[in-house]
Amino acid sequence: MKIRMVKTLRRLVAVTLLLFCSAMTHAETLTIAVAANVRYAYDELAAGFNKETGIAVQSVSGSTGKIASQVKNGAPYDVFISADSETPEALFKAGLAETKPRVYAYGVLVLWTKKDFDSGLGLRLLNDGKIQKIAIANPKLAPYGRAAMQALASAKLDAAVESKLVYGESISQTTQFVDSGAADIGFIAKSVVIAPVMAGKGKWVEVPKGSYEPIAQAVVVLKHSAGPQSANARRFADYLFTPEARAILAKYGYVLP
């Protein structure tokens, strides 16, 4: 009987330790909310951060507007890598962020197509009668969508192509529209079209930078992050400004502040 009790106690202790270690591992894993345009660069950033600190990270990705809405509704994110600076600034002012936003990079807008169009024509190409659908991220949710609308207005093309526009929830969905052929051409982030996974897919041209407001992308540590997590979250945010991280961001076509 005593032997059985000892064995049972040992099993209970082992299970308890296993559950405790599992809980500790989960608690130490940072959850990073990542704007869709950063998703490819993020993989390298996360790997570099983990190698340097040993801190595990996991991510969720989506449009900046959608992520902000989730944060307001209590989503358990520790850090928000945004596609603009206005949205994290609003979260900070609302008391939902631990730190003031810091601009880690400036995004670059491009026109991307997989069809045989003369991309060298730039925005003028959009007047081509062969182009029936132009993919654009929803400007109400995505900063790159707002920039695209500004570029169209600057070129006095907004009214002319309005009926051709098809809206994606994020840059990721906009990319899918063009990649699948559901759209003939689209306004995409340069960081997406030059990602290794996109190599050899279609052709692209940068949209003139003077035609849209600079896409200042900021990072912010969120209020959800508390205790030890807060320190780790700040370390992740700080990592984006290290030489190693800046080199990764430059590799993906971002303009560095």
Q: Which two tokens stand for residue 233?
A: 């979250």
Position 257 in a domain: no
Query: If 0-12 CB within 10 Å is exposed, 13-18 middle and 19+ buried, where does residue 50 land?
Result: middle
* Percent of the chain at pLDDT exceeding 70: 88
CATH number at residue 115: 3.40.190.10
The pLDDT tens digits for 14-51 are 433 333 333 334 447 999 999 999 999 999 999 999 99
Check residue 120 and give its pLDDT: 79
Distance in angstroms (rounded) separating the CA atoms of residues 188 and 207: 10
Residues 37, 90 within the same domain: yes
Query: Are 81 and 207 in the same domain?
Result: no
235 shares a domain with 114:
no
Q: Is the pLDDT of residue 6 over 60?
A: no
Domain presence at residue 27: yes
Domain extent for 178: 108-211
Q: Give the pLDDT score at 122.
A: 87
99, 130: one domain: no
pTM given for the model: 0.85
Same domain, 49 and 69: yes
Query: What is the chain's mean pLDDT, rounded?
Result: 89
Instruction: Enumerate residues 6+ apart whose C-beta is below 8 A from 97.
Output: 80, 88, 91, 220, 221, 222, 223
List Cα–Cα distances, 32 to 15, 76, 129, 220, in angstroms. Answer: 30, 9, 42, 10
Higher pLDDT, 28 or 155: 155
Token pair for 254: 């971002």
Residue 208 has pLDDT above 80, yes or no: yes
Total tally of structural domains belonging to the chain: 2
pLDDT tens string 126-135: 999 999 999 9
